[in-house]
Amino acid sequence: MSVDMKTIKANGITINYEDRGPADGKPLLLVNGYTSTMMSWPLPLMDGLKARGFRVIRYDNRDVGKSEKLKGIPNMGDVMKALKAGTKADIPYQLSDMAADGMGLLDALGIKRAHIMGISMGGMIVQSMAINHPEKIISATSIMSSTGNPDLPKATDEAMVALQERPASQDREVVLRHNMKGRRVYQSPAYPMSDEALYQKCATEYDHMYYPEGAARQYAAIIADGSRVERLKKVHLPFLVIHGKADPLVPVEGGIDTAKHVAGAKLELIDGMGHDLPVELCPRYVELIADLADSAERKAAAE
């Protein structure tokens, strides 16, 4: 698949992005999860959204893919101490900075307001966008994400190992096999990918750019943000939460808690869905997101 990627200066950094769909379509910004690149989005999802009239914009977060790489090694012990003390952690950047990147990309593209959608850490970034930049958002969708509420159930031990364990070497084939093994742990049990499809998915992301150094900085930003529960109570936007009932990495309670604390949020829980976006479920995602967007635009037009 040929990808027409471009770079642009936004929020003071260089961001790599792709803008697909009609220029006059409904702008929809896709926000990636922890360490994943813009290449992680399933093609059937993007094509389905484009067919429903969306101008689909995906981008690499800072510290992954071809977007700008930052510097600094966060001390996670200090991050935890700051979190407990209620002070701001001394880290290279905050989750709010990552949210500002996406909003800055919209500004750089001349888009005043857009629909936004994020997965996992991207869902947390979407929540931060809704909290800090509501005037730029028409609707928001948070998928397989959470509020940062410390009282919620944690990931399974196996899922955390799969997320954080590093490959035995940096050899491409070793990394791909390692990533495949990890994804098998938290994939959707009702929709397992074939070995061939999973290998190709991991290879596409690796070949886009393999940059493990950014993981620690992104993780520090997630942890330092703490609980967003009280901040989410102030969000009054058309809001959709999608979560898999079989998610071992971000348990379903994370999605339930998100919807609970955003006024009027719609919650969609899906049987057999884990911590990924199976192609079999893409038509369902498209319908949910399109319905939310249509409703939000009707509401905005009536105001």
Q: H/E element holding 19?
A: strand 13-20
Quote the percentage of the chain above a pLDDT of 90.
94
Express each pLDDT in 115-158 by its tens digit. Answer: 999 999 999 999 999 999 999 999 999 999 999 999 999 999 99
Predicted pLDDT at 266? 98
Question: What class does CATH assign to 5-152+213-302?
Answer: alpha beta
Question: pTM to 2 decimals?
Answer: 0.97
| Confidence bin at 2 (pLDDT 50/70/90) | low
The crossing angle, in degrees rounded to 10, of helices 95-108 and 121-132 is: 70
Evaluate if residue 1 carries a pLDDT over 60: no
The backbone torsions φ and ψ at residue 237, rounded to the nearest 5 degrees and listed phi first, read -135, 155
Whole-number pLDDT of residue 14: 98
pLDDT digits (tens, 9 = 90+) for 178-227: 999 999 999 999 999 999 999 999 999 999 999 999 999 999 999 999 99
- Rounded Cα distance between 227 and 265, Å, is 18
Which pLDDT band, with edges at 50, 70 and 90, does 299 fall under? Answer: confident
Please say whether the beta carbons of 248 and 275 come within 8 A. yes
Reported as a single tens digit per residue, the pLDDT across 275-295 is 999 999 999 999 999 999 999
Cα 93–Cα 96–Cα 97 angle in degrees, nearest 5 = 45
Q: What are the two backbone dihedrals, phi and then psi, of residue 108, each rounded to the nearest 5 degrees?
A: -65, -30
Please state, in angstroms and rounded to a whole number, the distance separating the CA atoms of residues 243 and 275.
8
pLDDT at 303 over 80: no
Taking only the tens place, the pLDDT of each residue in 234-279 is 999 999 999 999 999 999 999 999 999 999 999 999 999 999 999 9
